[in-house]
Amino acid sequence: MKLLRNEKLRNYLTMRLGGSASFVAEINQKSEIADVMNFAREHQLKTFVLGEGSNTLANDDGFEGIILHMKIKGFKLINEDYESVTIQFGAGNILDEIVAESCRHNLSGIEAMSMIPGTIGAAPVQNVGAYGQDISQTFVELEAYDTIENCFVTLDKNDCEFSYRMSIFRGKAWRRYIICSVTLRLRKGNPRPPFYKPVEEVLRERGLTQYTPQMIRDAVMDIRKWKLPDPNLIPNSGSFFKNAMIDQNKLEELRSSYPHLKAFYMGNGKYKISTGWLIEQAGLKGVLMHGMQVYDRNALVLTNISAYSYESLAQAREEIMKKVEDIFGITIVQEVLEIE
């Protein structure tokens, strides 16, 4: 196990902000998790698990504790039958590499999640997804270290309590479990329409009527390349806010002024609407504030143009949230996690 001291967190996060961590432990096998947790308990240090840092922020004070930098790679075939394959992936595998490999083998179920940054181990935390797919749809189980019971446990889909961009790992079990592997069941053969509307439009433009996972991946990648900035070129954390959830009364109120507003029924009387649309309608798309800019191609993305501190980001975030609240009466919620 590699243990580094006083590491600058901005070097581990795609937003390129944040102070230093007391320690960063590189985790390459699951036995090292128990070693780090024993060290943390012995020295009374807090812990935080980090993958690729694409959906995580750190404040200017940094983190007085140990960052577990998850690097567990590899995969294991668990089961294969006529319809599907079940594969266990080490938590440190890059999600998009898994998507790419599944498409090459004509396996469907995660192709619409192409180019989502981060690791597979981080995917269940907020049930990542895009263009009509999310990780819960192919999820079988995960293995994790339980920091309360100090042992490894297996959690199935019901245990994880998945919902829109949410799970127990971001709710009642926040920081309890350290995910070391994720098992998915992928279906053999081609994806089944209907697809998310932007994807359907690209497929139609290309004259395609039969679809392979690779065709869906290609379409999604073309959309994302246009809508989302490359964090290697422009520091960002992807979608900064969650899409808004509103009830029917609020939806009817909004549609009285915006009759063409798109909404998706999510169950339990709740509708999902685009937070990017709210921010754009508030006149903030492309606006630069405190060194942070609302991306001019996608108002859901906040980019770091010249900010050197988390405080600058926090000021921009609060101004965006306040303006949306003042205009629409809707409180938007940050999607990006914070090291604390």
Which residues are part of the catalytic machinery?
Answer: 165, 239, 335
Cα 69 to Cα 53: distance, rounded to the nearest angstrom: 9
> Which ranges of the chain does DSSP label H, i.e. alpha helix?
31-42, 95-104, 157-160, 197-205, 213-227, 248-257, 275-281, 310-328
Cβ proximity of 169 and 125 under 8 Å? yes
Cα 332 to Cα 245: distance, rounded to the nearest angstrom: 9
Give the closest residue to 118 by CA, choosing from 109, 108, 110, 128. Answer: 128
Give the closest residue to 182 by CA, choosing from 157, 149, 158, 162. Answer: 157
Cα 164 to Cα 245: distance, rounded to the nearest angstrom: 10
Q: Which residues contact 322 (CB under 8 A, 6 or more apart)?
A: none
* Alpha carbon distances (Å) from 332 to 66, 106, 162, 279, 326: 31, 38, 20, 10, 11
Cα 3 to Cα 24: distance, rounded to the nearest angstrom: 6
